Amino acid sequence: MNTVILLIGANGQLGKVLTNALQDKYGKESVIASDLKKSEDSDGIFEVIDATDIDRIMEVVIQYNVTQIYHLAAILSAKGEENPLRTWNINVKTWLNVLEISRICNLEKVFYPSSIAVFGNGAPSNNTPNNAYLDPTTVYGISKVDGENWAQYYHVKYGLDVRSIRYPGVIGYQSLPGGGTTDYAVDIYHKAVLNKTFTCFLNKDTVLPMIFIDDVIRATIELMEAPIEDIKVRTSYNIAGVSLSPKEITSEIRELYPDFRVDYKPDFRQDIAEGWPRSIDDSEARMDWGWKPQYNLWSITETMISELIGQYEVIL
Ligand code: SER
């Protein structure tokens, strides 16, 4: 059976990079990117899909003989709080649509991104284990806990091969995140390269688990390619990259931009961040499918800055 992958939510921070990585691996003709609107810079097959419409997803799955779905569409933690019921409806409904189609069409594999947002005050905040108590404080986090449980349900009840990772905050240069609590860790690099002052919406000492985009993409593909018998966790796997505070990122950036200035104006996102872990125990992912991060704060900073300098030179 030829692998044909449908990505839902392909225009987002992860979607664009994952689409390119999967195109490199499986060929452009085997990857169908989709989102609510066609992306300007999409290079390959693109279909407009509103994932709340199950019939539309089905149409595309049948048209291309899709064998795997990566379901990336979601409203993130900070944005989600603006309209909790809408966030719930979109995050959960789209995922149930994907699970139902995968079951009905007997798809080979499905990927579901979960998040550190599943944890709340009931979990230890340092080295939070995979099976910690889950009492999220945001509707995004609640929807991800729910999504993880549905993933496990479809696996146990129907034998669907659903695989999932709890992503830390993702730092990448290719596109901006939208509506998350960890977004500052991307924005800060843009401001540094543009020689602007950065106003941070978290306190300087707020430590959160973060990960570089290359590690995230590699983790996702490694998980999806692992032999089925190695996948022991069917809710979602913790993975860790590096734990960071705004102050630590700022001091690394100052190695390259000594005059870089950061002001702190914490807002409601500070409360969200305070409910999340400071660091993650990812020993199950390491043991089951060999996960290991490659980027530390310095290599993230060097790569972000050199890539962004290149991008802004093109634009300016
Ligand atoms: N990066 C996400 C957010 O901040 C967490 O998964 O919402």
The reported pLDDT for the residue numbered 40 is 81
| Ligand 1 neighbourhood includes 169 CB (under 6 angstroms) | yes
Whether residue 42 is predicted with pLDDT greater than 90 in this model: the reply is no
Q: What percent of the chain has pLDDT over 90?
A: 96
Q: Which two tokens stand for residue 77?
A: 């933690």
Mutate to test the pocket of ligand 1, among 140, 213, 239 (most ligand atoms within 8 A of CB): 140
The reported pLDDT for the residue numbered 20 is 96
Give catalytic residue positions. 140
- Cα 196 from Cα 232, distance rounded (Å): 47
| Ligand 1 neighbourhood includes 76 CB (under 6 angstroms) | yes
Q: Which class for 106: exposed (0-12), middle (13-18), buried (19 or more C-beta within 10 A)?
A: exposed
The number of helices, as runs of H, and strands, as runs of E, in the chain is 11, 12
The reported pLDDT for the residue numbered 313 is 83
- For the chain, how many residues are written? 316
CA of 263 to the centre of ligand 1 (A): 22
CA of 273 to the centre of ligand 1 (A): 9
pTM of the model: 0.96
Mutate to test the pocket of ligand 1, among 79, 181, 220 (most ligand atoms within 8 A of CB): 181
Sign of CA dihedral 228, 147, 175, 308: negative
Q: Report the nearest-CA residue for atom 1 of ligand 1.
A: 169
Which atom of ligand 1 sits closest to the CA of residue 138?
7
CA of 168 to the centre of ligand 1 (A): 7
Which atom of ligand 1 sits closest to the CA of residue 182?
4
Indicate the DSSP class of residue 155: H
Q: Which residue from 247, 269, 270, 256 is spatially nearest to 198, judged by alpha carbons?
A: 247
Q: Report the nearest-CA residue for atom 6 of ligand 1.
A: 115
Mutate to test the pocket of ligand 1, among 82, 112, 145, 182 (most ligand atoms within 8 A of CB): 182
- 316 band by pLDDT with thresholds 50, 70 and 90: low
| Ligand 1 neighbourhood includes 180 CB (under 6 angstroms) | yes
Q: Report the nearest-CA residue for atom 2 of ligand 1.
A: 180
| Ligand 1 neighbourhood includes 114 CB (under 6 angstroms) | no
The residues, ordered by sequence, that sit 6+ positions from 82 with a Cβ below 8 Å of its Cβ are none
110-136 pLDDT per residue, tens: 999 999 999 999 999 999 999 999 999
Whether residue 57 is predicted with pLDDT greater than 70 in this model: the reply is yes
| 9 contacts 15 by C-beta, under 8 angstroms | yes
Other Cβ atoms less than 10 A from the Cβ of 313: the count is: 9
Q: What percent of the chain has pLDDT over 70?
A: 99
The residues, ordered by sequence, that sit 6+ positions from 123 with a Cβ below 8 Å of its Cβ are 132, 133, 134, 135, 277
Summarize the confidence of residues 229-251 as an average pLDDT: 98
CA of 246 to the centre of ligand 1 (A): 15
| Residue position matching structure tokens 């590690």 | 215
- Cα 186 from Cα 216, distance rounded (Å): 15
- Average per-residue pLDDT for the chain: 97
Whether residue 168 is predicted with pLDDT greater than 90 in this model: the reply is yes
269-290 pLDDT per residue, tens: 999 999 999 999 999 999 999 9
Summarize the confidence of residues 219-228 as an average pLDDT: 98
Summarize the confidence of residues 99-114 as an average pLDDT: 98
Other Cβ atoms less than 10 A from the Cβ of 158: the count is: 14
| 196 contacts 260 by C-beta, under 8 angstroms | no
285-313 pLDDT per residue, tens: 999 999 999 999 999 999 999 999 999 98
Phi, psi dihedrals of residue 85, rounded to the nearest 5°: -70, -35
Whether residue 175 is predicted with pLDDT greater than 90 in this model: the reply is no
CA of 62 to the centre of ligand 1 (A): 32
CA of 245 to the centre of ligand 1 (A): 15
| Ligand 1 neighbourhood includes 115 CB (under 6 angstroms) | yes
| Ligand 1 neighbourhood includes 301 CB (under 6 angstroms) | no
